[in-house]
Amino acid sequence: MTTHLENEASQSTSALGPLVGLAREDIIGAVAILLRETATNPQRNMKHAQAMGMDMVKIMTGQSELAPDPKDKRFKDQAWQYNPFMRAGMQYYLAVQKGMSNWLEDLELDELERDRARFISNIIIDSVAPTNTLIGNPTAQKVAIDSGGLSLIKGLKNAYDDMVHNKGMVSQVDKKPFKLGENVATSKGSVVLRTEMFELIQYAPTTDEVHAVPQLTIPPQINKMYINDLSPDKSVVKYQLDNGIQTFVISWRNPSKEQGVWDMADYIRSCREAMEAVAKITESDKVNVSAGCSGGQTASMLASKMAADKDDLLGALTLMVCVLHPQQNDIEAGSLISDNGLALAKRRATKAGIIKGDDLARGFAWLRPNDLIWNYVINNYLLGQDPPAFDVLFWNADATNLSASLMGDFLHIYETLAFTKKGEVEMVDHKVDLSKVTSDLFILGGVTDHITPWKATYRSTQLFGSKDVTYVLSQSGHMQAILNPPGNPKAKYYVQKDGRKKLPATADEWLKGTEEVAGSWWPFWIEWVQKRSGEKIPAPDKLGNADYKPLDPAPGKYVVEEV
């Protein structure tokens, strides 16, 4: 059960995207569609009620052949097959699920309305699954009997702890085993620059020689930077260091209400300040940049701004699991997003100053309730087990606030499709135009990523003016696509067979010309980075320089600062 929970939740880590602009009115509107259609055509309702009634009769007489999807892990217990009462309960639920699906398909809705209705109805139906209750969960009943009722007592304690210490949300991770600097974020380094908005961390070389051109990582603004240095066995930072890359990472400060005015322009200025510091410390005239998720959007805006300013400091650019050309049907909940909802969300955020990390996490969880809520209700409360102690989930639970101004800018990028236009949208004191960015480009997607779907990430390959573009597809989900170090026997990735050819216009065309490669994509990427990192020079014997003196040890102060 624990491994299953780890896998499910690590595929569903929170991310900054258009969903932060989802307003409650959009969800209410989707529910209203269902209610409206219920009232408008009684004859149609009767037809589907009769069909469901026939299913119920078959269930009562033991003639129903309704069975769960083989991929539905909720009904794995053998009691669902061999206990007639449990089997009937399961089939009643499946009949409701089937009836709702058939009814939705019969409604006179346009495609967008149908997607909205389907998404909301799935959330509602998932919430009434028999497995979410003790009386309807045979596994929980067996555990209760085997433990003499202790599992129920432990479940009640877990529920009480969540009410008191986790703001009523079911816990996804046991945080107790993890401590920053001890078993998480352990790579040696130092803060070499601290401003009001960020800390710049330089990591200590682990090789005698290093490449002359350094690499700066720009992390997302709603997560802590130590996803890049999670543990020694899956640390992107350590892997870069061990392969002779001079490694720097920005650590964003968690904004308070007063700092809710920080906007994209402020973050871009901070990125440039960090790049200039990296260049001066390493005495390099180029700085390679790597970024993931919303950090990738920030890095792309930075690249556009630097191109407009004819600033040639940027070297090679790596974008991981990042969507620059979104479309409404990319994600399951995309149908819920409306212009009015985006405007309302911006207005509310501006009034509040910030969107709290807890609120972001809560809203995100309810959009994937089976993976991020009901799984844990069953594990923590019904089975009385602790949530998994898993480092990716520990990091995911360590969410940060999002400034209202930055949220507004991200939503403006989404609404205007700023990255797809050539100089039509003005942001950050310039006209956004990625076609003027000519840096060598490496883009990563994840096969099972439903947050930044891989076909959406592929569209970025067509936006830049770069002549050298590499796209790699990792066999995993969102954060797991990035955290895919060598040594995983199941790891594989896809690349274009002939890397010298120009990438085709669509993801489907690209996929036809790919080859599957066993193992982690990290070695392939690090070789790509090394080729663009200049000659080898002796590794520096100290961090920083006279102008950028080492301050606190990595991972710095901002990652532990409470707001």
pLDDT, one tens digit per residue, over 182-220 is: 999 999 999 999 999 999 999 999 999 999 999 999 999
The answer to whether 460 and 488 are in contact (CB under 8 A) is no
Task: Read off φ and ψ for residue 496, nearest 5 degrees.
Answer: -65, 135
Do 81 and 196 reside in the same domain of the chain? no
Residue 105 has pLDDT above 70, yes or no: yes
Cα separation, 15 vs 334, whole angstroms? 14
Residue 381 included in any domain:
no
Domain of residue 235 covers: 189-326+417-538
Residue 123 included in any domain:
yes
Residues 6 or more apart whose CB falls under 8 angstroms from that of 366 comprise 123, 372, 373
Residue 19 has pLDDT above 80, yes or no: no
Using DSSP bridges, classify how beta strands 402-403 and 215-218 pair: parallel, antiparallel or unpaired.
Answer: unpaired
Do 439 and 312 reside in the same domain of the chain? yes
Residue 421 included in any domain:
yes
pLDDT band at 365 (very low <50, low <70, confident <90, very high): confident
Cα separation, 549 vs 523, whole angstroms? 33
The answer to whether 402 and 357 are in contact (CB under 8 A) is yes
Name which residue leads in pLDDT, 49 or 174.
174
- pLDDT attached to residue 406: 92
Angle subtended at Cα 506 by Cα 500 and Cα 508, rounded to the nearest 5 degrees: 95
Residue 1 has pLDDT above 60, yes or no: no
Do 286 and 427 reside in the same domain of the chain? yes
Name which residue leads in pLDDT, 195 or 412.
195
Residue 423 has pLDDT above 80, yes or no: yes
Do 213 and 301 reside in the same domain of the chain? yes
Q: How many CA atoms lie within 13 A of 287 on its CB side?
A: 27
Count of domains for the chain: 2
Provide the mean pLDDT of the chain.
Answer: 88
Q: What CATH number should be reported for the domain holding residue 216?
A: 3.40.50.1820
pLDDT band at 474 (very low <50, low <70, confident <90, very high): very high
The answer to whether 245 and 211 are in contact (CB under 8 A) is yes
- pLDDT attached to residue 113: 73
Q: Which helix (H) or strand (E) holds 472?
A: strand 469-474
Rounded to an integer, the average pLDDT of 416-444 is 96
Residues 6 or more apart whose CB falls under 8 angstroms from that of 104 comprise 114, 117, 118, 121
Cα separation, 563 vs 561, whole angstroms? 7
The answer to whether 444 and 296 are in contact (CB under 8 A) is no
pLDDT band at 310 (very low <50, low <70, confident <90, very high): very high
Do 138 and 211 reside in the same domain of the chain? no
pLDDT band at 264 (very low <50, low <70, confident <90, very high): very high
Three-state DSSP state, 229: strand
Do 244 and 308 reside in the same domain of the chain? yes
* Number of residues that this document lists for the chain: 563
Do 28 and 129 reside in the same domain of the chain? yes
Do 31 and 132 reside in the same domain of the chain? yes
Of residues 223, 192, 49, 51, the one with CA closest to residue 545: 192
Rounded to an integer, the average pLDDT of 339-357 is 76
151-162 pLDDT, tens digit each? 999 999 999 898
Most confident of 10-24, 249-263, 443-457, 469-483: 249-263
Residue 127 has pLDDT above 80, yes or no: yes
Do 136 and 207 reside in the same domain of the chain? no
Residue 369 has pLDDT above 60, yes or no: yes
Rounded to an integer, the average pLDDT of 8-33 is 59
Known catalytic residues?
293
Residue 356 included in any domain:
no
Terminal Cα-to-Cα distance of the chain (whole angstroms): 34
Residue 42 has pLDDT above 80, yes or no: no
Least confident of 34-48, 51-65, 296-310: 34-48
Residue 301 included in any domain:
yes
pLDDT band at 119 (very low <50, low <70, confident <90, very high): confident
pLDDT band at 24 (very low <50, low <70, confident <90, very high): low
Q: Compute, in degrees rounded to 10, the torsion defined by CA atoms 291, 442, 473, 392.
A: -20
